[in-house]
Structure 1
Amino acid sequence: MFRKNSTSFARAFPLSLILILSGLGLLLSMFVAVSFGAKGMTLAAVWTAIVHYNPELTTHQIIHELRLPRVLGAAVIGAAFAVSGALMQGVTRNPLADAGILGINAGATFVVALSFAFFPNLPYSALILLSFTGAVLSTLFIFVLGSSTAGGLTPLRLTIAGAVVAALLHSLSSGIAIYYDLSQDLAFWYAGGVAGVKWLHLELLAPIILITFVWTLLLGRSISLLSLGEEVAVNLGVKAKRIRILGMTSALILAGVSVSAVGSIGFVGLVIPHISRKLVGVDYRFIIPVSALLGAVLLVLADLGARMVNPPRELAIGVMVALVGVPFFLYLAHKERRNL
């Protein structure tokens, strides 16, 4: 699945340099994203608002109450989607794995639609839990469906099962939205966006994502071995079934929580892990942190692009990501077909 020769490019750049450049790129992209919007602001004014906040100034209020939580949310959730995709690709040995492609986002969105229809006044903390539950149930269904034929679960069958389940759940969500007149409410979840992220959301999301992220780092070595083949991993003392369960659980938490905040944004978890492997090789102890940084950069820039294409109107952030993700997915699918 993942070739060992990807390390040849990684040797050209030390890991520390890659992490430093990725971190600086994230900081720069976040500062630029905070600076630009429907209301123009100078870079000096933005810097002053960040380091010397004055609640009596309108520009400072815009930055602190609207742009900062939005940009931080894009960074945190972009990192979560990227790490989630990296984990799925590692534990399933499927280079096309991603929370959107495998139908996991669709499961979370379906439960959100049910919540809007039957429990419209749920607190955000309950919505996070229900979104995660939907992601888990859809994943279980996908694995059962993909394993039900002779030959067991293969990467191709997993991708096909995910696409089928995603189509089914999106259709059901659309039916619920039409019947209960939720089209306006669910439009955000279908297209995805970080415009609604507030400080309250970050206070709930950030600790969950951070704890899960630290946990995935501890699984890095085992997932690296598992991604090279179950037989290799078992011979080296890895408990393959246990690592798969732990890795997929972590991926589900990251994807489910993220969907509850910004809706169904696909392709971040597909594109970023492949770029990370090109940069640092096949060791997940390095892939995970680099994926987190690059995923954050991608979503921050995608949100900035969505705001700047036709201001003051905004495009859906999912559209901006798809412009990169769809060609990349087609390229990977064609590459995998040639390798069959």
Structure 2
Amino acid sequence: MSETILDVDGLSVDIATPRGALHAVRDISFSVKRGETLCLVGESGCGKSMTSLAIMDLLPKAATRTARRLTFADEDLGKASRKRVNALRGDRMAMIFQEPMTALNPAYTIGNQLVEAYRQHRNASEAEAREQAVHLLDKVGIASAAQRLGQYPHQLSGGLRQRVMIAMALMCGPDLLIADEPTTALDVTIQAQILRLLADLQRELGIAMVLITHDLGIVARIADRVAVMYAGQIVEEGPTASLFANPRHPYTQGLIDCIPVPGRTVPGGRLGTIPGVVPSLVGEIRGCSFRDRCSHARDICAATVPLKETADGHQWRCILENAV
């Protein structure tokens, strides 16, 4: 059985606001094994990025993280000191941020930014760090890697900047890689190249990966398991094939219905939609957060929603056995 790299149980993130606590992430649980890809999916604002920042301990000052269990490779992150977390982050735990143009420092060359973490965590010389940087830039498909070290982020295209971010995350050979929408703002050709690159590197290095996206097409191609988030909560999780073949939660079904299917969707026809708006996450939240937008909602949905599970580990929070 594969080693569990990340184990999250009951993770919540609350943000103080003038109107009260905003419950950005609400009691979510999942795990990721070595070599496995878990995709967190959902519409913007559902808590995907906040979940990743909570794992990496990069939350804003106004946010508070709590969890029943938050372990990385059997190490308790909830009890780890700031010094220990800093030692793990960038070394054994790495993150690819959503927008490389803002994640990369415009005042420093690519080389300076790549070698910094490696020298910090490996106590390596400048020459050793630059050699590792060239190796990884070449590995992620950047030509003339040695010459690129002297360039600044603005001198690179969006696709190249994203590849630099991937190389930076891999500099110390992490066990866990969190990729927060790594193909945002890239054209479809570059998207496919980046996804193929991530899959190849993961397979080669045995990395556990959490991929955050709102694109179900990406999920279908790369994920082993999928966790669907809505209003700060995981409403459905399961193996990718099972979830796409038999979505159990009405929200998941609504997301899948929004995707055009070649041969079935009429050109120029209307795509599926999910009516209504996401509820406020400020203050007390009771029952199913999706009930005001759900055609299957009943009075019982205002009470505690049961968690159901099949033998293959497919879980969902709904009164329904199957979404219709």
TM-score category of the 2 structures, normalised to the smaller one: under 0.3
State the TM-score, normalized to the length of structure 2. Answer: 0.27
More helix by share: 1
More strand by share: 2
State the TM-score, normalized to the length of structure 1. Answer: 0.26
